[in-house]
Amino acid sequence: MAVCIICREEKQNFSIEHVIPGSINGYYTINSICVDCNSFMGSRIDIELINLAAVQFKRLELGIKGNSGKIPNQLIGSVTSDDFPNEKLVTRLDENGKIIVTQMSPKVEIQERDGIIKISLYLFL
């Protein structure tokens, strides 16, 4: 039996705890935390740290995969800007999760006058 450094109780079941979560490349581990406290730390504290936007962006930039084997990507999808409210900013990633292209989606204008159809395509790169 040993004393858990978190709950300060004598316990038998201890597990390896990453001081910095493994999902953000933490490699320093300790084994002085009981299984219950380790579970609590992971589900209540570590999760808050790894879900911070700044941490997620850095993981994306560095290509750090989480426990699921995936790189978090807060850039999936599209957003609009105040400067171009009718346009969407689209971000594409390569197979490793690295940002490869960021562009404005094409804007298409279709006008018809006197039986003539004019199609204009604007690309924002």
Residues 96/59, Cβ–Cβ less than 8 Å: no
Residues 68/50, Cβ–Cβ less than 8 Å: no
| Residue 85 domain-assigned (yes or no) | yes
For residue 38, the one-letter residue type is N
pTM, whole model, 2 decimals?
0.53
Based on DSSP, count helices (H) and strands (E) in the chain, helices before strands: 3, 8
| Residue 86 domain-assigned (yes or no) | yes
- State the average pLDDT over residues 67-84: 72
Residues 54 and 7 occupy one common structural domain: yes
pLDDT of 15-66, one tens digit each? 888 888 888 888 888 899 999 999 998 888 888 888 888 888 888 778 888 7
| Enclosing domain of residue 12 | 2-62
